[in-house]
C-alpha cells in the first residue's frame, strides 16, 4: 500500500513551541518542499510566524481551497503538521490516522487532493513513540484480538503490512521490542 504514494518526503521534526514576537514573512518564491522545510526550521528555532491563522483566511478559503501539500500523519496529538511546519488554514491537506496507515479512503483523499486541488507534494510524516506501532510490536501473543473493537482493525492492518512484518522479525532476532 505505501508504495503507491506519488511522492514521499520524510522530514525530521522536533517538538516544543514558543510564539515569537518578531517574525519574518514567508518568502514568495519557495517550492512546496522548501515551504515545509523553512516552516519547520522556524518552528525548531522558536520563530514560528503562524501564517494564515485568522478570520480573513477563513473567509478567503470558504468557497475553495488551494493547499500546496498533502501530509499523511499519525493522529497522535503531539504531531500536528500545521504547527510543526508553521503553516496555516488552507496550506496543507492533512490526513491523520493512528499508525500512518493508508486505507482506500486515505488513498482516495490523496488522489482527490492531487487530481482536484492540484497538490504537487505528498509527505508521509512519521514520528517516534507511536502508540499504534508500539501496540503492534508488543502484542506478541495476539492479545489485541480480545478487545473486539476498532483498535483491533488498526493493529490487524499493521500486522498485514509486509514492511512491518519484516521489521518485527528483525527486532525479535535482535531482542528489540520498540520500533518507530
Cα radius of gyration rounded to whole Å, the chain: 18
Distance CA 1, CA 85 (A): 26
Distance CA 180, CA 170 (A): 13
Other Cβ atoms less than 10 A from the Cβ of 56: the count is 10
Contact 69, 93 (CB under 8 A): yes
The pair phi, psi for residue 4, each rounded to 5°, is: -85, 0
| pLDDT at residue 159 in the model | 78
pLDDT in tens, 15-56: 333 444 444 455 668 999 999 999 999 999 999 999 999 999
What average pLDDT does the segment 155-168 reach? 73
Which of the two residues, 69 and 179, has the higher pLDDT score? 69
CA-to-CA distance for 51 and 9, rounded, in angstroms? Answer: 22
Give helix 162-173 / helix 150-160 axis angle, nearest 10°: 80
Segment 106-135, tens digit of pLDDT: 999 999 999 999 999 999 998 888 888 887
- Average pLDDT of the chain is 78
| Percent of the residues in the chain that have a pLDDT greater than 70, as a whole number | 68
| Greatest Cα pair distance in the chain | 56
pLDDT at 144: 60
Amino acid at each position: 500500500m505505501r508504495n503507491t504514494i506519488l511522492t514521499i518526503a520524510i522530514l525530521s521534526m522536533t517538538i516544543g513551541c514558543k510564539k515569537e514576537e518578531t517574525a519574518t514573512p514567508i518568502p514568495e518564491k519557495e517550492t512546496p518542499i522548501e515551504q515545509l522545510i523553512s516552516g519547520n526550521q522556524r518552528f525548531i528555532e522558536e520563530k514560528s510566524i503562524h501564517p494564515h491563522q485568522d478570520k480573513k483566511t477563513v473567509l478567503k478559503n470558504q468557497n475553495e481551497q488551494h493547499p500546496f501539500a498533502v501530509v499523511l500523519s499519525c493522529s497522535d496529538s503531539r504531531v500536528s503538521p500545521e504547527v510543526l511546519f508553521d503553516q496555516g488554514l488552507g496550506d496543507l491537506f492533512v490526513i491523520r490516522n493512528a499508525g500512518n496507515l493508508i486505507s482506500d479512503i486515505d488513498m482516495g483523499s490523496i488522489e482527490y487532493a492531487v487530481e482536484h486541488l492540484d497538490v504537487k507534494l505528498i509527505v508521509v510524516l512519521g514520528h517516534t513513540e507511536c502508540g499504534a506501532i508500539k501496540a503492534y510490536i508488543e502484542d506478541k501473543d495476539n492479545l489485541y484480538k480480545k478487545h473486539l473493537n476498532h483498535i483491533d482493525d488498526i493493529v490487524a492492518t499493521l500486522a498485514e503490512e509486509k514492511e512491518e512484518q519484516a521489521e518485527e522479525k528483525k527486532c525479535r532476532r535482535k531482542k528489540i521490542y520498540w520500533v518507530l
